[in-house]
Structure 1
């Protein structure tokens, strides 16, 4: 009776299948750590794990670490640039404010200088106006001097000076001032007293007429009346006095007074 080879599931595995099964089993044992204890030294050496530096994981870690360092460096550079830009902007703003403040201060200084210049000019003009004096009778001369003695004067001497003037000759203010007296003055006849702008007083006597009133302001050369011979007078002329007060008895040298104000007498 002849025998035939069994087929189907009872068929014996081939040599290659057996070899593959053995390899799988060895790999399984190696994974479990069993073969390590049974293998020969040569086999154990052949199955050692690769060095850490040769693995893909370490390369990934190294790449990620380098990338993080570059990102951090870029962030630091950006922060540094932002800080520099902010500092530069603040410095420019501070410089701009300082320049604006300086410009305003210079403008204010120029304005103040201009105001002071105008004030000086005004004061100079006022001093010139106040310092401009003239003779009370144009083109006249002194016919009787100051403190001349004689019986014609109750005090025994002349308290002013007389200017030669025909009756009706215009009499003007020798300087700018205010009228404090205008009317009859006894021995002075019709007389006017002015308070001058420098605080002194001048008096004009023996007038034939008066053209101003008390409280009126007059400038240098303003006509205040006409010469005459009213009061205690021997003939037409102008009696002129310079005083420290508006009253009789406070007289000072009229010639020296006029010369001190630039008038040739």
Structure 2
């Protein structure tokens, strides 16, 4: 039995049917190698019927992938910038720490140097000597002869000094005598740190006591004219021992310790 299409208006081929026909036609032409001038309009018409990107969905896929690539590249660039910033901050922190350490080292070195200098200065000061009366001069020399002295000669030297002039220890030592000394009047005897002895006579007053340690330049009394004295002055002796008769040249003694007399 034969079937016939119902009479009436026929439905046009669908778009997809036309596309399929177009593809088949192109394939046939490509197989035969024959392309006529009259076929060009048909091809153009078929090209116009090619699905749009919106229809196929390809544009959305490509746009999404492109955006993802852009976001990834941006994130990577930001990550590199963050890494560079962190590296720079670390380098700056290390530089600041190194500078701080160097400053501390310099400060400690300067402090140590100052302490050494202070210790050395103090050591020199403690071992220094000076004249017993500041700004004075020798009015009577050592071993000067005369009837004033029981031994027949002067066992020390006299420094010119008005009554009440400050008298100081010529160096570091310990007081072994402080009080009345007969012909010496009020006197002080000091055992020096080098083992020698110095004596200060005819004092008007005494400011130290036996057993007391004294430093160079420390006041021990005031000058006067007590004892066997013809007037205010300081009698100064240098000795090898504590007893009378062990006197040595006071000027040579002071000069040997750097004192200008």
TM-score normalised per structure 1? 0.51
Say if 1:87 and 1:166 are closer, same or farther in 2 by CA, change over 3 A: closer
**Residue 134 of structure 1, aligned match among 131, 135, 142:** 131
Write the mapping of 1:246-261 to structure 2, written as runs, cut at 5 A: 247-248=242-243, 254-261=250-257
Say if 1:72 and 1:252 are closer, same or farther in 2 by CA, change over 3 A: farther
Distance 1:68 1:251 in 2: 115
Distance 1:128 1:139 in 2: 23
Q: Is the 8 A contact 1:205 1:239 kept in 2?
A: yes
**Residue 81 of structure 2, aligned match among 79, 85, 91:** 85
Partner of 2:37: none
Deviation by residue 1:143-180 (Cα, 9 ceiling, x = unmatched):
225xxxxx949xxxx9x744376996857225354652
**Residue 62 of structure 2, aligned match among 42, 60, 66:** 66
Say if 1:191 and 1:127 are closer, same or farther in 2 by CA, change over 3 A: same
Say if 1:195 and 1:90 are closer, same or farther in 2 by CA, change over 3 A: farther
- Name the SS of the counterpart of 1:144 in structure 2: coil
- Name the SS of the counterpart of 1:134 in structure 2: coil
**Residue 220 of structure 1, aligned match among 217, 222, 241:** 217
Q: Is the 8 A contact 2:175 2:214 kept in 1?
A: no
The answer to whether structure 1 residue 207 and structure 2 residue 205 are counterparts is no
Distance 2:246 2:65 in 1: 105
Write the mapping of 1:113-262 to structure 2, written as runs, cut at 5 A: 115=111, 119=115, 120=117, 124=121, 127=124, 131=128, 133-136=130-133, 138-141=136-139, 143-144=141-142, 152=151, 161-163=156-158, 172-175=167-170, 177=172, 180-181=175-176, 182-184=178-180, 190-194=186-190, 202-207=197-202, 209-212=204-207, 213-214=209-210, 215=212, 217=214, 220=217, 222=219, 224-225=221-222, 226=224, 228-229=226-227, 238-241=235-238, 247-248=242-243, 254-262=250-258
Unaligned runs of 5+ in 1: 1-13, 31-41, 46-53, 146-150
Partner of 1:148: none
Say if 1:78 and 1:127 are closer, same or farther in 2 by CA, change over 3 A: same
Q: Is the 8 A contact 1:130 1:175 kept in 2?
A: no
Q: Is the 8 A contact 1:163 1:237 kept in 2?
A: yes
Q: Is the 8 A contact 2:199 2:237 kept in 1?
A: yes
Say if 1:15 and 1:124 are closer, same or farther in 2 by CA, change over 3 A: closer
Say if 1:20 and 1:251 are closer, same or farther in 2 by CA, change over 3 A: farther
Unaligned runs of 5+ in 2: 18-24, 29-49, 144-149
Say if 1:15 and 1:190 are closer, same or farther in 2 by CA, change over 3 A: closer
The answer to whether structure 1 residue 97 and structure 2 residue 87 are counterparts is no
Tell me the C-alpha RMSD between the 2 structures: 5.6
